[in-house]
Structure 1
Amino acid sequence: MTITETSVRAAYQAARDRFAAGGIDVDAALARLDGVPISMHCWQGDDVRGFETAAGELTGGIQVTGNHPGRAATPGQLRADLDLAMSLIPGPKRLNLHAIYLEADRPVGRDEIEPVHFRNWVDWARARGIGLDFNPTCFSHPLSADNRTLSHPDAGIRRFWIDHCKASRRVSESFGRALGTPSVMNIWIPDGSKDLPADRFSPRLRLRDALDEILATPIDKAFHKDAVEGKLFGIGAEAYTVGSNEFYLAYAAARGTMLCLDAGHFHPTEVVSDKLSAVLALVDEVLLHVSRPMRWDSDHVVLFDDETQAIASEIVRGDVTDRVAIGLDYFDASINRIAAWVIGTRNMRKALLKALLEPRAALRAAEAAGDFATRLALFEEHKSGPWTAVWDHYCLSRGVPVGGRWLDVVKAYEAKILSEREAA
């Protein structure tokens, strides 16, 4: 059955009336939804290769599996793919860049990157009215080959990575100044040990001191925000991770940085949704890397699953949309990469919409009264509520395809553009 604009509008009106009967203002919910940007990750489009002149093998426990045709091999191709993906996703968006996505006509050391090397990205973002976020790239480099960077015992190697992060902060600040929206710069390092270390203290003290030096120069938060990201373990760091969540939680609370919580960086029995209220009681702002781990930090495409919905619900229930920066972090080369972007980003926005349509006032009243049966009933009834009709209306009113129509656009692009790249 063909989806028509008339049927979408009729279903939306019925859903709007039903939500209104429960005290929920759908128009207000959509307005709030339009105030929450999602930062898309550039590295899904090219399998985390970047554009350094001498691109090396992925290291630091990062693996991209699959060889689907059409990987972006140039900045122009990557931006074209992003343009298509963004045109199929409703709501405000940002782009998250890694330092290896610079553009230069000569090799540039990572400790020498400058804003000029990202000028084309800024021009592209300005033309589209979106913001940029940034990350130093502390992996896939000869000086990170032994899974040690900011905690390295060699002062010279440590200096290189400190200088890289300092240079990255200047690049990030330039994004904020040029685009009028603060760039969130996230520091993640692969440092750790494959087997049990004899000394767990010294690397963490070196990391603390390195971070302190990196962040020593104040930058106006109107232009740039610092975040630090922990991890439970990684390939080559199975026994010991220097930058654990405990380390960075303490650091963020003590130093006033953002804490990055990656959905794939914890034990399988832990969930980020439960950590948000705990962290935000002590830390001003949080950066989310929404991902989907499968048995380990394997960075699968984000689904509309229980945890994605729970993360969105916690953000909305806590009224912390202004304190949580939402970004995506996954890389799947086994399927069409543009489809991976669209599926994951649309799912995150769907989760936010569903959370915004939840009967929060009634839920809180039932909980305050100790009426837990009503609370449970409200939770369960909302699961089958007509929120999908609101989603279809949202897509239609924001000029993007309703339902699965976006896939036809991606398939046509694959046949015309991506297949030609493979042939070349």
Structure 2
Amino acid sequence: MSNEQLQQQYEWAKAAYAKYGVNTDDVLKKLADIKISMHCWQGDDVAGFMNPDQELTGGISVTGNYPGAAHTPEQLRADLEKAFSLIPGKHKVNLHAMYIDTDEKIDLDEIEPKHYEKWVAWAKEQGLGLDFNPTFFSHPNSEDGFTLSHPDKKIRDFWIEHGKRARKVAAYFGEELGQTSVNNFWVPDGFKDNPIDRLAPRKRLMESLDEIFAEDLDKKYTLDAVESKLFGLGAEAYTVGSHEFYMGYGITRNKLVCLDAGHFHPTEVISNKLSSLSLFSDGILLHVSRPVRWDSDHVVIMDDELQEIGRELVRNDLLGKTNIGLDFFDATINRVAAWVIGTRNTIKALLKAMLEPTEYLKKIELEGDYTTRLALTEELKDFPFAAVWDYYCEAQNVPVREAWLEEVKKYEENTLLKR
């Protein structure tokens, strides 16, 4: 499609939305300021570079053996660069602690900012931010399924030290890059079968987290987040860090509460939780994923829940207090393509929501005109959203529509298949 055709279609769409008071030019300016935190672990199947041969544990499972997985930090950064070149806007990368880039042989309780200096230098070159996650899985000290809530104090102390050091790394990211680094704490602790004592492990987890967070760090540089989970492989009956645990912990300790789309009951959605959480929390961390019957972390598609998440963030003016990250890993398809599909869809969902005449819809709802509310929200589904998206991609110098796929296939042939 030529530039002239894109412009013509955009002008037509612009007029359609203007009828209801939506200025598409302003919407696209706001959209360009939204940063999505793209997770590094899609690129190498959650192996990391600390002990890449260590068995993946913590209730996590990656299926597939598509060729081209990254095996070094340099390869992973090259793959990330290719993905970002096909995604509109400037965003962030979400690193796990195990993705160190150093020749030193260290353990998780020894990490320091210097072990991530190459990541920071690269992020500066690319104009990206960095978020962080301590790694509480795939380690000998997590083999029995417990870390911060472990009954053995020596093992707890190991993980507490790791958590403390992870916070220092995140603060280093924020200070060096001028973008607040969100540091997300998720632990896999739990039992495969029904426990007798549900309270004691949660008390140990609470005390361990309190010790990790005892030192105040400048929130200008880093924000701590805590993430719940319903269950994982090997922890089907009981998860120490449940939603109720972390909701209480995050609110009473002034931490971000992370809502992951896959970490709840199969029929439960996180879109309906955002407005409630916003009333009691200074900020939210959102992990956009796609569960299929369980927390299977499928690549994000433009499904009903993704669009509902976008609408909730926009309609309730929550974009300013919500940190949006991705969390999926699929080794059955091209990993760069997975990043591009998931990230573009997340941005699309936000754009689609921002093109709604939100204030008008709220007005007629308050007036009790539910007929117009239903009729208009249905008709808006057929408005020329795609023309606005195409114009935005062109303006951001990334491929329009499916043209990005050809770029990925060339990269696969020239780079990924040669690994």
TM category (shorter chain) comes to over 0.9
Distance, in Å, in 1 between the alignment partners of 2:110 and 2:237 is 33
Does the 8 Å CA contact 1:53/1:106 hold for their aligned counterparts?
A: no
The one-letter amino acid of 2:171's match is: E
Distance, in Å, in 2 between the alignment partners of 1:107 and 1:64 is 26
Q: Secondary structure at the match of 1:100?
A: coil
Distance, in Å, in 1 between the alignment partners of 2:398 and 2:406 is 12
Q: Which residue of 2 aligns with 1:63?
A: 61
Correspondence for 1:354 among 352, 355, 360: 352
Unaligned runs of 5+ in 1: none
Does the 8 Å CA contact 1:53/1:107 hold for their aligned counterparts?
A: no
The one-letter amino acid of 2:312's match is: E
Q: Which residue of 1 aligns with 2:148?
A: 150
Q: Which residue of 2 aligns with 1:390?
A: 388
1:381 shift after superposition: 1.0
Q: Secondary structure at the match of 1:43?
A: helix
Tell me if 1:140 matches 2:129: no
Identity %: 57
Structure 1 residue ranges (4+ consecutive) displaced by more than 2 angstroms after TM superposition: none
Q: Secondary structure at the match of 2:319?
A: coil
Does the 8 Å CA contact 2:256/2:281 hold for their aligned counterparts?
A: yes
**For the structure 1 residues 360 and 109, does the alpha-carbon distance in structure 2 shift closer, same or farther, using more than 3 Å as the test?**
same
Tell me if 1:420 matches 2:418: yes
Distance, in Å, in 2 between the alignment partners of 1:147 and 1:385 is 50
Q: Which residue of 1 aligns with 2:231?
A: 233
1:55 shift after superposition: 3.4
Please give the per-residue CA displacement for 1:241-298, whole angstroms capped at 9, x wherever unaligned. Answer: 0000110000011000000000000001110100000111111111011000001000
Q: Which residue of 2 aligns with 1:266?
A: 264
Q: Which residue of 1 aligns with 2:20?
A: 22
Distance, in Å, in 2 between the alignment partners of 1:250 and 1:260 is 12
Q: Which residue of 1 aligns with 2:341?
A: 343
Distance, in Å, in 1 between the alignment partners of 2:104 and 2:219 is 32
Structure-to-structure mapping, 1:318-337, within 5 angstroms: 318-337=316-335
TM-score by length of 2: 0.99
Q: Which residue of 1 aligns with 2:123?
A: 125
Distance, in Å, in 2 between the alignment partners of 1:46 and 1:258 is 27
The one-letter amino acid of 1:28's match is: D
Q: Which residue of 2 aligns with 1:172?
A: 170
Distance, in Å, in 2 between the alignment partners of 1:54 and 1:336 is 20
Correspondence for 1:249 among 235, 247, 250: 247
Q: Which residue of 1 aligns with 2:48?
A: 50
Q: Which residue of 2 aligns with 1:72?
A: 70
Structure-to-structure mapping, 1:185-196, within 5 angstroms: 185-196=183-194
1:362 shift after superposition: 1.5
Distance, in Å, in 2 between the alignment partners of 1:282 and 1:345 is 28
Distance, in Å, in 1 between the alignment partners of 2:328 and 2:76 is 16
The number of aligned residues is 419
Distance, in Å, in 2 between the alignment partners of 1:237 and 1:135 is 21
Distance, in Å, in 1 between the alignment partners of 2:124 and 2:56 is 31
Q: Secondary structure at the match of 2:293?
A: coil
Does the 8 Å CA contact 1:151/1:204 hold for their aligned counterparts?
A: yes
1:53 shift after superposition: 4.5
Q: Which residue of 1 aligns with 2:221?
A: 223
Q: Secondary structure at the match of 1:362?
A: helix
Unaligned runs of 5+ in 2: none
Q: Secondary structure at the match of 1:327?
A: strand
Q: Secondary structure at the match of 1:301?
A: coil
1:106 shift after superposition: 2.6
Does the 8 Å CA contact 2:90/2:127 hold for their aligned counterparts?
A: no
Distance, in Å, in 2 between the alignment partners of 1:167 and 1:303 is 35
Q: Secondary structure at the match of 1:259?
A: strand
Structure-to-structure mapping, 1:278-293, within 5 angstroms: 278-293=276-291
Distance, in Å, in 2 between the alignment partners of 1:150 and 1:32 is 40
Q: Which residue of 1 aligns with 2:210?
A: 212
Q: Which residue of 2 aligns with 1:369?
A: 367
Distance, in Å, in 1 between the alignment partners of 2:61 and 2:86 is 27
